[in-house]
Structure 1
């Protein structure tokens, strides 16, 4: 098992908003504390190479497992992007358990509908209609990267209300709260992991 080497951020370090909208649609917004010594370019590289490995605690481990050793189980490129690799148009398979609890395990395939220097957007669609969306946006600031996560559960159209109710049973509010803690913890880990990767790359760049 991969150990937890760096402190996990608490929920209180972020500003969290929960919204219950029409037709049983829900939205969660997390405004994270800035990530010191992290740049947008580092984040783009991270999400573009989640299948890579890194030095962690004196061993070489999967980046995805180092990202959250407790909750993360598996990440795979279910389908490469049209131009290859983990880019816009790719499909990510994500397996994790919030808080390490089996009852909060998810195993999903998300389509990457955006991945650039400003953020990433993961989407699940039903008959072409978005029913789940998770978007992370970031921008450079004087105290580090400003990072915001927004999760939308459910479709906007009234006709999709039965689907939204089903999603409510599949992803109830208490599970969403567990995801919030998970997300705040994993985003906080990037403050340690990305500068570490950058320092590892420096000798190769000088060679």
Structure 2
């Protein structure tokens, strides 16, 4: 049985409520040559700070207590859809920072037809947000940016996904991505993203109050644990 099949067969239990799509403001913009932008303004995350979010993204290779188990943080982040996260390449400064490459394997709605297995370059990671990018011939063809800021009602979190390139020369690539990351798959990603961001409201306060956040723990080898080998990226996320 493949790692994908085993992971879908034994997803973690859902310990915390999953946010519904109507808790966020979602906008879809379609530009010429089928370039798309999806923007999600999430309900503020109570009890979460920008520093916690930065710590989360720089220590995704760790583990945490989830119920009575110690599990990979990435799997706890979305206990149904997430399959594997790896630091495919360290940043020039070391670790998970700007210039690193993240391998991400997940299936939106736990549906095999909505599975992605990609390697994204981290082009920004600081206390204000993270930006993950894929390029072809040096041209950005995919970008996912999460930005956050502290407000009186919690941390405001916005996710923006850009699918496709601006250049007219990349129109065939945009067409390919339209079919590979279909409108139905985009809707499934929106639901997935709203759910996973909402989980941070429960996971991060627990993680940082327990002392597990630093230093990051390491999981034993098995399904979903980090490792160095990775497959070629697909041009979607």
Q: Deviations along 1:122-178, whole A, 9 cap, x unmatched?
A: 000001000000000000000100000000000011111111001001101110000
SS of residue paired to 1:140: strand
Alignment partner for residue 33 of structure 2, among 23, 32, 38? 23
Aligned match of 2:24? 14
Post-superposition offset of 1:8: 0.1
Alpha-carbon distance in structure 2 between the residues aligned to 1:87 and 1:16 = 28
The residue aligned with 2:174 is 164
The 1-side partners of 2:20 and 2:34 are apart by 28
Is 1:175 the counterpart of 2:185 in the alignment?
yes
Task: Pick the aligned partner of 1:122 from 108, 115, 132.
Answer: 132
Note the aligned Cα RMSD (angstroms).
Answer: 1.0
- Aligned positions of 1:14-53 closer than 5 A: 14-53=24-63
Q: Which runs of 5+ in 2 are unaligned?
A: 1-9, 215-237
Say how many residue pairs are matched: 203
Match of 2:143 in 1: 133
- The residue that corresponds to 1:71 in the other structure is 81
Structure 1: state its 5+ residue gaps: none
Give the 4+ runs in structure 1 shifted more than 2 A. none
**2:104 maps to which residue?**
94
- Match among 155, 163, 171 for residue 153 of structure 1: 163
More helix by proportion, 1 or 2?
1
Give TM-score, length-normalised by structure 2: 0.84
CA distance in 2, matches of 1:104, 1:158: 28
Following superposition, the deviation at residue 9 of structure 1 comes to 0.1
